[in-house]
Structure 1
């Protein structure tokens, strides 16, 4: 599959669009929510997670386009044979504390997406996927300001763990079981 035909929206562009519609989500949470929901939902049904913003989706074409773009890029990234799934996070020029907070928010959105789309218990997942899911819950609860000793390298390693980990969860939840992923009993 190789390179995605779509491009991930810029973090600041997504942040502006979410502010414009008065959403409580951050750009990182929004993408995490989408990425989590894609494990058990079709791309067409993802917009239901933005039902509070339905009027905004109808009135703000740019926001609707950005959501569609995030869904498409994320879906393609999950299915990419080169494992090119990417997280929507601030770029490296942003201070470490803000980037760390965004990663925690991304993980929180991802976990919310899994739960809202029907995943009932992480313990019912295969061992590797269950461990990653529990780690994502822990990462989502981190307070970056409490650990001022972290480095860019530490954050990059954690981002890579999350990026690979969510692909493991996706692979487990979507592997051919003879049942539609919407019917998985997890």
Structure 2
């Protein structure tokens, strides 16, 4: 018998890239995952689903259907990870064996997608009550502008990328908690903040 946690792991980044290649998207797989996670973090699950469906409009090939299944699988896994509050949330990024600049670029793109997803879901800093959450969002915006081409391929930059990636992962959990807490407060009080 397997536990629910067995199903909460994202696919390998490269496998995901290959599974959605038929869609010929103008954004990277990491940015796409970030975008979907932005919707999920904001509690805009239906908007995220609609975004996926819009990507596949007028694409009827078997490859496109496979891409749809892959996208919805990643969306569903991320949805479970974000909403479970068990700190299992993961960013879909290239493996550590990949070159540093490639991983840094994917991380920056993920952050760009995430902040876009929040924006498309109608979330900005004014929707966050906790100063820590506001700071976390600002840091993610800054990470989206990371100058990955100027990175040195050394231990310091490797460590820095690992640290900001972990920070971003925890920031998403923090932001989701803040946004959901505020939705519950607003729902119970009937007032907007």
Q: What range is the shorter-chain TM-score in? A: 0.7 to 0.9
1:131 aligns to 2:139 (yes or no): no
Listed as ranges, the matches of 1:1-186 within 5 Å are 3-50=5-52, 51-56=54-59, 60-119=64-123, 121-125=124-128, 126-148=130-152, 150-175=156-181, 176-179=184-187
* 1:92-130 per-position Cα deviation (integer Å, ceiling 9, x unaligned): 1100110000000000000010001111x3144121111
Q: Which has the higher helix share?
A: 2
Q: Secondary structure at the match of 2:149?
A: helix
Unaligned runs of 5+ in 1: none
Q: Quick one: distance in 1 between partners of 2:60 and 2:70?
A: 10
Q: Secondary structure at the match of 2:34?
A: helix
Contact 1:4-1:77 at 8 Å conserved across structures? no
Question: How big is the shift at 1:67?
Answer: 1.3
Unaligned runs of 5+ in 2: none
Please identify the structure whose Cα radius of gyration is greater: 2
Q: Quick one: distance in 2 between partners of 1:74 and 1:24?
A: 22
Contact 1:77-1:85 at 8 Å conserved across structures? yes
Question: How big is the shift at 1:32?
Answer: 0.3
After superposition, the Cα gap between the structure-2 partners of 1:184 and 1:72, relative to the gap in structure 1 and judged at 3 Å, is: farther
Question: How big is the shift at 1:4?
Answer: 5.0
